[in-house]
Structure 1
Amino acid sequence: MSKKSEVRTRKGQLIHTFGPGAMQVNKMGISMIACGLDYWHTENGSQKSLDIAIIKRFKIQDARLERKLGVSHFRSPPDSIIIHNEIKVSSPLPSIRFPLWHICSNTSCQRMKASSPTLEEELKCDSCGAIMYQSRFISVCPSGHIQDFPWFNWLNTHNNSACHEDTCKLKMIGTGSSSSAGIKIKCITHDSRPVSLAGVFQTKKENGIIYESTFSEKNIKCHGDSTWINIADTQCEQPLVAALRQATNVYFAKTDSSILIPLEGNNKDKEIDEAFENLPASDIDLINAFEEIDSKIKISSNYFSGKYSDEQLESYFSGKENIDNVPSSETEVEYRYQEFNHFLNDNAEGVLVTKTLPVNSFEDWFSDFFSAVTQVKELTVTNAFYGFDRLQPQTSRTIDSYKKSLWKSVNSESNWLPAVKVYGEGLFLEFRIDVLNDWSKLFATKASFKDLVISASQSPLFDKVGTLTPEYLLIHTFSHLLINQLIFDCGYSTASLRERLYVSSSDDTTMYGLLIYTAAGDSEGSLGGLVRMAEQGKLEHIVKKAIESSNWCSSDPICREIGEQGGQGPNGMNLAACHNCALLPETSCEIFNSLLDRGVVTSQHLDNTGFFDSLLNAN
């Protein structure tokens, strides 16, 4: 890969927007698709792995998230140039050109031609010599496959012809059209009738799932191409769908995040793990080459000179085997409940440093709504990438199926996922359960809320939310209003603050809290600006201002009226919430700036259908 074709990308983007299988454009205007994880942490973009001592520098450990996603560890994206033993090691992440079909930029020519996926130079037209640009049309399927637009299939099904890429040449007509109906293709070899692309994007859905497309109606099938890892699934039966290569529905990254918390795990396992990692790379490879645990124990005993008993080694390897092969069956609620409990206690040191503040030390009204306040002085967040969807987020695919789409060859060396670890600080609030439950029963009777519950249940974007409850809607909306207010006092920008919601009505995992945190702190963990906002005398003022802001929007009465009449925003997933009152930057919100309503915080007429109505009535 030459310098002129490279794209400099932040590590955080590589596990979100531009991960394996995603496209981005380099400075030459060439669209490229990022290759799979087989090419991460390799020399010069090949499949030759870096020295294990180098790889260790990029390893990230988070035992809970490892169990949840079924991997042995995580790795941060490699640097393009790594200094090891005073030697520069090149480890760029390779990509290939996609799409391959190009159109001549000369409007009087507009011939079409396919290029090589490894071509780095600009492609020139064979007819007129003009520069050719990549087609904006591609095709994808719900299983995540991607391929060039089936130009010849589309032409042949309309003209009842037998044109083929090896014997025919194509030409595009009307590239300046604003609609697909105005764009046509023809075979200049046979001077065929021009065929329009009209209706090419049409699909049919059932329960929100695409089951038929314009292509499938014409028996144009998906090739099962996983271009980024150079394999094809010839058995793919999903409908092939036309798309624009820069459309937002071409790539939905699947990510998961975790707050690092102290674990009461087997300390001996941790000790063995550290000793294991300190062995020479050749010895580690030899141990891993054995599949049977008994064999691993026998050879490991020699390396560790009897320091660990066979029982201890068996416990270690058995636990490692379970982590390596089986994603945890733990639910998202159960996972977050572990974090929730840690925020209710003091932790003076370690990976999570917290200090609880007595609620009765705040102003009298504060304890009417909140039961706990915690300063989170230091926290560590692991954000991991485990796959992606195309066209629409899926709910039926397993974590294992996502992981397999990231690797060309799945083996013992492919048992990790990309992740980044960031450090920050935060503040945690817990709502009073008794007051919340009483209010919830009243708000649940509102017609607008009932309609929102139905809409949310039909969208795969909110599968982690489960059944939408008034409590969730309240805590989520309040979180947004609080973040908007905090930016005026804590010194961080809006995009630097993020939310993490802890909401569950189940008997075993009852929790109603929220964490506002920042991952923009320094590497020591905290700059302190957000933590100080949780102090007595400051927090009450900020919370009250956030509540008061909910009662009026510069778009009112329209914002309120639209919320009552069926919702606003994408797919009507918000009630009284818009860019002028309750929305945040996309990176700050857990669920895409959706499921928001100022009416849950304070109602328009303060008739006690808003959770904090009594506070404003008292004023």
Structure 2
Amino acid sequence: MTIPARTPSKKGQPTRVGGARPSHLITSGGVGSVVDLPSMSVVVRSTDTWALERAEAIDEPRLLEKVRTTLGPQIKVLRTAPWDPQDSDDPWTRTGVPVSPFPRWLRCPRCHRLGPIDPPGQFELVHRSGRRPDLAKWVHTTCQQQTQNRDARKRACLPARFLTVCEAGHLDEFPYVTFVHHGQEHPCLGPKLTMRDSSSTLGPRVTVRCLECSASRNIADAAGRDGWESLPACRGRHPHLQRFEPCGRPLKLTVLGASNLWFSVTASALHLPQGQTVTDLVTANWELLGQQPNSTLVQMIINGIDSLRGLRGVSAEEVWAAIEDLRASGGPSTEEAETDLLAAEWRLLSRPTTEREDDDFRATPSETPTGYKNLIDQVVLVSRLREVQALLGFTRVTAPDRRELDPANRLSLSRTNPTWVPAFEQRGEGVFLQLHEAKVREWETRVADHPRIMALRTAFVRWSANRDRPVDNDFPVARFILLHTLSHLLIRQVSLECGYGSSSIRERLYVGTPTEPATGILLSTAASDSEGTLGGLVALGKPVHLKRLLDQAFADARRCSSDPLCAEHVPVDPSETLHAAACHACLFASETSCESNNRWLDRAVIVDLTGDGLAFQP
């Protein structure tokens, strides 16, 4: 991460202030997010400020088509974040993701002075060592208690931790000056503020005081349900875009690091092997190959583009013949693109074959563990997989629903109409479990009117209404809860034995549609390294190990340290909680593992907690 230099520096170039993994810039700290660095807080700037000289393109046609469907046909490519393959220590390199200080109000830990970075003079950015970006810090240059110390020895100033946010997703500084001087007849001509904390269990006890006019006020006045009355109307600020827009909505007090300040809107797809015939490969790359005038140029393109490596063992004459045949027939047939990225994955995982394998996908059926043949129809060991994930936007305050790519409150990544979006790819392994469709359908029909299922449906209606979203009446509540709960139980068990932490194991649920239902769970782990992972997860998919994991998962589902409160929990009006018997002690998983934000979970559908036939009997 680089921050524009505001103080005299070599060549006036940006300076490096921190680092982040490529996956972090997509899933939990991307464009528009406030990132907490060791000595400062920054906001990630919009994609139109990124330097693309070292941002590589990622080839994944299925995902690119989905992004185009959502954001528009102007999207041409998926790109990685800019990176330096030499891992240069040059502090002035442009390689990196641009960030800006945010919030721009700082507090001195020694004299408690509270003030903005602008205008310069009061606070200064100190960055003496380019090889240690974590040492970059803001210091209070006029602090009377540190005047004898050199800047390098002065304590780092802390970002003022209070922010404001509105329902439209605008994020802004807390209006300290107007807040403290509220109601004064004569404005303070030269406000000099301090901020002091005091411990309390009743709410924020933070006093902001003006040294010039002695006005003071507690931040608690802006907290609570009616706190917006003490704040001005929203001025429509987007710090990542560095612009304002008309708004006027009420503001809410929030704090730096609040979990609802940034939710990613992402789309992900597994790599699926293309057809192996020459015609299939030409068809998959027709947009490029179909425009070439002769076989010589076609061969040069094949030799130069890695995504066409499957055609390198074929003679130029054979490839050109396939192109001519397709041209004679009017080009490849244009089938309507699937709107659901999971549909093609489900078809391949549920019917794995050695004819559809390559270096990035390899799946082999395995035996079903003894005692679980009534529950599990098939186990598939995915020893090689590649997942590409793209960032389409983000939301604030309210998280998007599962795989929702166009929520009403989605914010843009760029000031202009984007032609690319950030993405990253990972290679790894996984275990796919396919449940018996007939048995799941029979159970789903039987419990459709069960009080717990109906309570969750009703809570879903309230949840949708409170967010101005249409209710998805086709959402298979019972089916999804069954698959999701079993998935979380297995994540907890697998993480104890496979060598990967629970936050490194991701779920991918296949529930299908009313016309084409599916019952699949893919647990996978991946790494950014081109060689993928080490096989620890696939090994646990073998019958002897999987049986032990399933036995322990079902045993753990029968008890929770929070019982009976957890087991008896059912959402009732006005609650909009979308889970029943589930909590952090038994089912909840990290946000990097769960694709539904820990919604739609209930241990009662797996084991008999209610004694009324709700549990699915394996």
Compute the TM-score of the two structures, normalised by the length of structure 2. 0.74
Q: Does 1:514 align with 2:521?
A: yes
Alignment of 1:324-363 (within 5 A): 331=339, 334-348=340-354, 349-350=357-358, 351-357=360-366, 363=370
Check 1:140–1:566 CA distance in 2 against 1; reply closer, same or farther (3 A cut).
Answer: closer
Structure 2 residue corresponding to 1:372, chosen from 361, 367, 378: 378
CA apart distance, 1:401: 8.5
Q: Does 1:259 align with 2:284?
A: no
Q: How many Å separate the matches in 2 of 1:465 and 1:35?
A: 38
1:79-111 alpha-carbon deviations (Å, 9 max, x no partner): 246589xxx96412221111122334445x645
> What is the aligned partner in structure 2 of residue 7 from structure 1?
18
Q: How many Å separate the matches in 2 of 1:497 and 1:355?
A: 20
> What is the aligned partner in structure 2 of residue 39 from structure 1?
49
> What is the aligned partner in structure 1 of residue 175 from structure 2?
150
> What is the aligned partner in structure 2 of residue 324 from structure 1?
none
1:374 partner letter: V
Check 1:62–1:402 CA distance in 2 against 1; reply closer, same or farther (3 A cut).
Answer: farther
> What is the aligned partner in structure 2 of residue 587 from structure 1?
592
Structure 1 residue corresponding to 2:422, chosen from 410, 415, 418: 418
Structure 1 residue corresponding to 2:605, chosen from 579, 600, 603: 600
Q: How many Å separate the matches in 1 of 2:109 and 2:168?
A: 33
Q: How many Å separate the matches in 2 of 1:106 and 1:83?
A: 37
> What is the aligned partner in structure 1 of residue 243 from structure 2?
231
CA apart distance, 1:24: 2.2
Q: How many Å separate the matches in 2 of 1:162 and 1:522?
A: 59
Structure 1 residue corresponding to 2:31, chosen from 6, 17, 20: 20
Structure 2 residue corresponding to 1:176, chosen from 198, 215, 224: 198
> What is the aligned partner in structure 1 of residue 510 from structure 2?
502
Q: Is the partner of 1:99 in helix, strand or coil?
A: coil
Q: Is the Cα–Cα contact under 8 Å of residues 344 and 356 in structure 1 kept in the other structure? A: no
Q: Is the Cα–Cα contact under 8 Å of residues 62 and 73 in structure 1 kept in the other structure? A: no
1:128 partner letter: Q
Check 1:554–1:153 CA distance in 2 against 1; reply closer, same or farther (3 A cut).
Answer: closer
Check 1:435–1:101 CA distance in 2 against 1; reply closer, same or farther (3 A cut).
Answer: same
What residue ranges of structure 1 are gaps of 5+ in the alignment? 43-48, 204-212, 285-304, 320-327
1:163-188 alpha-carbon deviations (Å, 9 max, x no partner): 5xxx4313235433546664344554
Q: Does 1:433 align with 2:437?
A: yes
Q: Is the partner of 2:456 in helix, strand or coil?
A: helix
Query: What count of residue pairs does the alignment treat as equivalent?
Result: 537
Q: Is the Cα–Cα contact under 8 Å of residues 123 and 133 in structure 1 kept in the other structure? A: no
What's the Cα RMSD here?
4.3
Structure 2 residue corresponding to 1:476, chosen from 478, 484, 487: 484
Q: Does 1:550 align with 2:560?
A: no
Q: How many Å separate the matches in 1 of 2:562 and 2:197?
A: 40
When you count helix as a share of all residues, which structure comes out higher? Answer: 1
Structure 2 residue corresponding to 1:532, chosen from 529, 539, 551: 539
Q: Is the partner of 1:341 in helix, strand or coil?
A: helix
Check 1:388–1:404 CA distance in 2 against 1; reply closer, same or farther (3 A cut).
Answer: closer
CA apart distance, 1:341: 0.8
1:392-425 alpha-carbon deviations (Å, 9 max, x no partner): 2257997498887222333xxx311111111112
> What is the aligned partner in structure 1 of residue 150 from structure 2?
none
> What is the aligned partner in structure 1 of residue 118 from structure 2?
115
Check 1:105–1:554 CA distance in 2 against 1; reply closer, same or farther (3 A cut).
Answer: closer
Q: Say which is worse superposed, 436-445 or 383-392, in terms of deviation.
A: 436-445
Q: How many Å separate the matches in 2 of 1:473 and 1:5?
A: 45
Q: Is the partner of 1:393 in helix, strand or coil?
A: coil
Q: How many Å separate the matches in 2 of 1:181 and 1:346?
A: 57
Structure 2 residue corresponding to 1:201, chosen from 223, 236, 250: 223
CA apart distance, 1:381: 0.8
1:419-445 alpha-carbon deviations (Å, 9 max, x no partner): 111111212122222222222234333
Q: Is the Cα–Cα contact under 8 Å of residues 16 and 255 in structure 1 kept in the other structure? A: yes
Compute the TM-score of the two structures, normalised by the length of structure 1. 0.74
Structure 1 residue corresponding to 2:390, chosen from 368, 374, 384: 384
CA apart distance, 1:126: 4.5
Q: How many Å separate the matches in 2 of 1:401 and 1:380?
A: 31
CA apart distance, 1:246: 2.0
CA apart distance, 1:603: 0.5
Q: Is the Cα–Cα contact under 8 Å of residues 112 and 169 in structure 1 kept in the other structure? A: no
> What is the aligned partner in structure 1 of residue 253 from structure 2?
242
Percent identical: 25
Structure 1 residue corresponding to 2:63, chosen from 62, 65, 89: 65
1:335-391 alpha-carbon deviations (Å, 9 max, x no partner): 3122111112223222432223466xx53x433222232222211111221222122
CA apart distance, 1:7: 1.0
CA apart distance, 1:65: 1.4
CA apart distance, 1:272: 5.2
1:438 partner letter: E
Q: Does 1:124 align with 2:140?
A: yes
Q: How many Å separate the matches in 2 of 1:161 and 1:512?
A: 68
> What is the aligned partner in structure 1 of residue 149 from structure 2?
none
CA apart distance, 1:137: 1.4
Q: Is the partner of 2:566 in helix, strand or coil?
A: helix
Check 1:464–1:534 CA distance in 2 against 1; reply closer, same or farther (3 A cut).
Answer: farther
Q: How many Å separate the matches in 1 of 2:497 and 2:286?
A: 44
> What is the aligned partner in structure 2 of residue 159 from structure 1?
184
Q: How many Å separate the matches in 2 of 1:12 and 1:344?
A: 28
Q: Is the Cα–Cα contact under 8 Å of residues 400 and 407 in structure 2 kept in the other structure? A: no
Check 1:427–1:158 CA distance in 2 against 1; reply closer, same or farther (3 A cut).
Answer: same
Q: Is the partner of 1:409 in helix, strand or coil?
A: coil
Q: Is the Cα–Cα contact under 8 Å of residues 34 and 44 in structure 2 kept in the other structure? A: yes
Q: How many Å separate the matches in 1 of 2:272 and 2:608?
A: 38
What residue ranges of structure 2 are gaps of 5+ in the alignment? 6-13, 69-74, 127-137, 147-154, 302-319
Check 1:186–1:156 CA distance in 2 against 1; reply closer, same or farther (3 A cut).
Answer: same
Check 1:458–1:111 CA distance in 2 against 1; reply closer, same or farther (3 A cut).
Answer: same
